[in-house]
Amino acid sequence: MRICTLAVRGAGGLALAAALAAAPGTAVAHDQDQVEARVTPADGSPGGQVEVRVSGCRGTTGAAGSGAFAKDAALTGGGKSLTGSARIRAGISGTYEITVTCDGHPHQGVGTVRVGGAQATPQAPVRAGGGGTADLQPVAAVAEEAGPGTRHAVVGLVLAGAAAVAVALRSVRRRRSD
């Protein structure tokens, strides 16, 4: 509530001052307790899409932003709720607050979005179909078992080159001895 100090002259001014002091100020903050944001699915995955549903806004449009979103979700609707969708940024995990802007006011921390770690992939997929029968393990573990990398390829090329040189030298020596 805003406190006003007025210089009052006369009985009419006193009544006006009392009325202004009793009335709430125009700069009173918008009631954030009414605005609430929920995300579906409750646990988003990096790079995945989530739906944001906001209740408590009186208007028909708004925006929902979070450190987890690639860009703000445009909210539309009316009546009891506004809805929109957002894409979760890649490479993140944790819990992030949601800020909603509606009715011309920002409402900070009116919801949260949880983002899981690495996406799960099949551990040992079946070659001929199998569908969802394979066990799941994190992507990081699959990357470690993926096979030879650049270092292995370079070592293999050096060894193949050394073998080629040895074969060439041996064939030159045989031709000289004949």
Query: pLDDT class for 177, splitting at 50, 70, 90?
Result: confident
pLDDT digits 0-9 by tens, 116-167:
865 555 555 556 655 555 555 555 555 555 667 788 888 889 999 999 999 9
Q: What are 29-79's pLDDT values in tens digits?
A: 444 468 999 999 988 899 999 999 999 988 899 999 999 999 999 999 977
**Do the Cβ atoms of 52 and 73 come closer than 8 Å?**
yes
Can you give the pLDDT at residue 175? 80
DSSP H or E run through 15 = helix 10-22
Q: What is the DSSP string of 73-85?
A: EEEEEETTEEEEE
Asked whether 64 and 72 are in contact (CB, 8 A), the reply is yes
pLDDT confidence of residue 171:
87
> Above 50 in pLDDT, residue 26?
no
What are the angstrom distances between the C-alpha of 15 and each of 10, 20, 59, 143, 144?
Answer: 9, 9, 36, 77, 79
